Amino acid sequence: MTSGGTATDPSRPLPTTRPRPIILVILDGFGIGRDPAADVIAAAPMPTWRGLLHDWPHAALRASEDAVGLPPGQMGNSEVGHLNLGAGRPVLQDLPRIDAAIADGSFATRPALVAACRRAARPDGRLHIVSLVGPGGVHANDRHLVALVGLATQTGVPSVRVHALLDGRDTPPRSALGFVADLERRLAEAHRDARIASIGGRYFAMDRDGRWDRVERGYDAIVHGVGERASGATAAVEAAYARGENDEFMTPTVIDAVDGVIRSGDPVVHANFRADRARQLTHALVDRDLAGFDRASPDGRPAPDDLFVVTMTEYQAGLPVEVAFPPEEARSLAQAFAEAGWRQFHVAETEKYAHVTYFFNGGVEKPYPGEDRRLIPSLRVSTYDLAPAMSALGVADALVEAIGSGSYDFIVANFANPDMVGHTGVWDATLAALEVIDDCLGRIVDATLAVDADDPGARGAVLAITADHGNADELRDAEGRPVTAHSLNPVPFMLVGRAARG
C-alpha cells in the first residue's frame, strides 16, 4: 500500500523510544468512496469516525493495482492487503507472478504441473482442474485455467475435465452466463476434449470457516457426480437462475457423471491461487482422516484413493500435495518485531483470522516468539446481512483488554464487517454493520488514550486505523443496482494518540 512516500523497511533497527503499544486496526473493506449515492460509509451515522477525521491526522492510501503488487485494473483483496500491510512494502502477488510465467513460457516447465499432466498422459488418462471461473481475479484467473489446458494438450493428455466454481461476489451476482459460454469456447480451442464436468457456487466448495456441510456438497458433485443434473454448463446456470439462485449460491450441479468424476489415481490441479478459500476442499481431497467430513458418496461409495493433487500456490504448510508456485520469502514486520523482542497480539474473528496471522506474517503459519493470538468465533449464519454485527464486539473486547494489559508492544486487529456484510450487497445491513464498527472504534480510541494518561512525560499508545481494500464505499452501480465486489478506491490511514500530535 502506498501513498507516494518511502516504504517501511522491516530490516532497519526498531526505535528504542516509542509509543507502547502500537495498535493497528484494519477495517476490512472500508474505502474512501467517490460517489455518495453508492457509498454506505458516507451515509452511515458514524459520529466517532467523523470526529476522528476532524481531530486526528489522516491520509489516503492506494490499496489496489501496482501499489499492492497487482496488475493494472485489479482491485485489492483481504489476502493481498494484509500481506502488504504486514510487509510494510508492495509485494508482488501470485496473480502477476503466474501471469509472468505464462508470458515467458516457464509456466509449462513447472515441475508439479508437468508431473500432473504426465500422470494423465495415458490412453484412458484424465486431468481434473478445479477453479473459480470468471473475471473477478481475486481467487483465480481464467488465463491460468486455459494455460493448464494448453499444457495438457502439449503433453498428450487425452481428456480434461473442469470443475467450475462460480463467483458472484467479486463479480456481479448474476454474470456467469456470458463468461461460462466464453470459457467453454476457449476450452474447445485449447484441447480437443476439454469440458466442464461440474459447476456450482463458491458458497459451497470454497467455504473457509469449517462449514464442512457446504464443502461436502461441492465435493460430492466434483468427486462422486452427486448433485443437481444439467446437460451443459450454460443450461446449469440458467436452471440455477430459474431456481432463484445467484452465481455464488448456485447448487453444485453435475454435467458429466460418467467421465467427469474423479477416479482413484487421477491427477487433480486446484488452480485457485488464493489459499484461504481453497484449503478446505483440498483437505477433503487428500485427507483420509478428516474429522467431521464424510468422503464417501451419499450412497456409500468410497472416496477415490491415490490422488495426485497439485495446488497452484501453497495453501497450507504440510498438506500432502505438490505446489506449482511455492511461496517466495517475504520478510514481515511481525518477524522484525519478534527479533527485537517485542510482544505481539493478533486478533480477529474466524472470517479474517488467517489474514491477521498467516498473511500479515508473510505466509508464516506458526506464531513468532512473543506473539499471542486470539480467535473470536464467527457467527453461524448463511449470509452476514442476517447478523451485521458479526463478532465485532468480541474482537473489540479482546482488543481493549490487550491495550489495557500493558503486556504488548504491538497489537493488530481486523474488523470484518464492512467487507463481509458489504459482500451481500444489502445497503441497510451494511449501514448497520458500520454503526457497530463506529461503537467499537469509540471504545478502542478511549482505551488508546487512557494508556499513561496520568504521566504527561510518557508517549502513551498510538493507534493506526486503516483498511486492506475498499468495498462498503461502493455498494451500488450507476443504475443503483447492488455491487458485491471490492472497489478500486483508496483507503484511509489515520493516527490517534499523543505521539500523533507531534
DSSP labels for 455-487? -TTS---EEEEE-SSBSTT--B-TTS-B--S-B
User: Sign of the CA dihedral 452, 454, 456, 457?
Assistant: negative
CA distance 376 to 395: 6
Q: Which of 3, 11, 64, 78 is catalytic?
A: 78
Q: Provide the residue type at 307 as one letter.
A: L
Residues 219 and 281 sit within 8 Å (Cβ to Cβ): yes
Find where cell 453508492 sits. 38
- Residue 78 known to be catalytic: yes
In the sheet that holds 194-201, the strands lie side by side as 228-229, 253-254, 194-201, 160-166, 127-132, 267-270, 308-313, 322-325
Residue whose C-alpha is closest to residue 27's, from 431, 403, 447, 412 = 412
Residues 236 and 253 sit within 8 Å (Cβ to Cβ): yes
Residues 139, 211, 395: CA angle, nearest 5 degrees: 80
The H or E element containing residue 190 is helix 176-190
Residue whose C-alpha is closest to residue 400's, from 365, 367, 427, 376 = 376
**Chain centroid offset of residue 307 CA:** 26
User: Sign of the CA dihedral 350, 45, 494, 93?
Assistant: positive
Residues 136 and 273 sit within 8 Å (Cβ to Cβ): no
CA distance 424 to 236: 23
DSSP labels for 385-423? GGSTTTTHHHHHHHHHHHHHHS--SEEEEEE-HHHHHHT
Residues 481 and 475 sit within 8 Å (Cβ to Cβ): no
Residues 356 and 346 sit within 8 Å (Cβ to Cβ): yes
CA distance 81 to 63: 7
Find the helix packing angle between 47-55 and 427-450, rounded to 10°.
50
End-to-end Cα, the chain, rounded Å: 23
Residues 252, 214, 290: CA angle, nearest 5 degrees: 120
Q: Which residues form the catalytic set?
A: 78
